[in-house]
Structure 1
């Protein structure tokens, strides 16, 4: 967790079954998402890297800096619609307050379909 007087970032483990799908193809699937809540933004699922099919993705040259999370790296689809534009991001070396997001990716909502099933356990 990181906080300031006006800004907060929380990363909590989720129990949902989350699938990231593009054109009918599963890009990522996990039962261990992180749910990242950040002031002023919608909650986001961050998917463990081991649950992402990197055969479908390629890194881009893009990097941005968030004062609350650190420097983000980006990925694009290797082919088809959306190829060449940033579709997912991660923080390979996040700030200490949010170190739990390391080795997790999140996807732009307009680039994929996110299918969420509630935990049935």
Structure 2
């Protein structure tokens, strides 16, 4: 699977985990140069508190377009150290 934004592959992995129709990429499969930490957080009743990244490619930013769970609940252990995408990030095989 590949995550693409602004015509750049920002993550690539053969080992994504699908939960709620989102592909979660292993954290070591993201191209870290495109990811900037965000102050945004949200809460999922069964996964835990999510943190976000803003994606920046060639000067363009996509605020909070990637999220991950620094601490996951026991029910979501399969996405520990994984990152998912939205806001126009294309995920395809």
TM-score by length of 1: 0.71
Q: CA deviation at 1:115?
A: 1.7
| In structure 1, distance between residues paired with 2:51 and 2:6 | 24
- Structure 1: 5+ residue runs without aligned partners? 1-17, 38-42, 117-121
Tell which structure's C-alpha radius of gyration is larger. 1
SS for the counterpart of 1:87 is: strand
Query: Is 2:16 the partner of 1:33?
Result: yes
TM-score by length of 2: 0.90
- RMSD of aligned Cα (Å): 1.2
Q: Which has the higher strand share?
A: 2
Higher relative contact order (CA 8 A, sep 6+): 2
1:76-104: CA deviation from partner (whole Å, max 9, x where unpaired): 0233142xx21000011011121121100
Q: Give the corresponding residue for 2:6.
A: 23
Deviation above 3 Å: which 4+ runs of structure 1? none
Q: Give the corresponding residue for 1:113.
A: 90
SS for the counterpart of 1:111 is: coil
Number of residue-to-residue matches in the alignment: 91
| In structure 1, distance between residues paired with 2:36 and 2:13 | 20
- Structure 2: 5+ residue runs without aligned partners? none
| In structure 1, distance between residues paired with 2:91 and 2:19 | 15
| In structure 2, distance between residues paired with 1:92 and 1:58 | 15
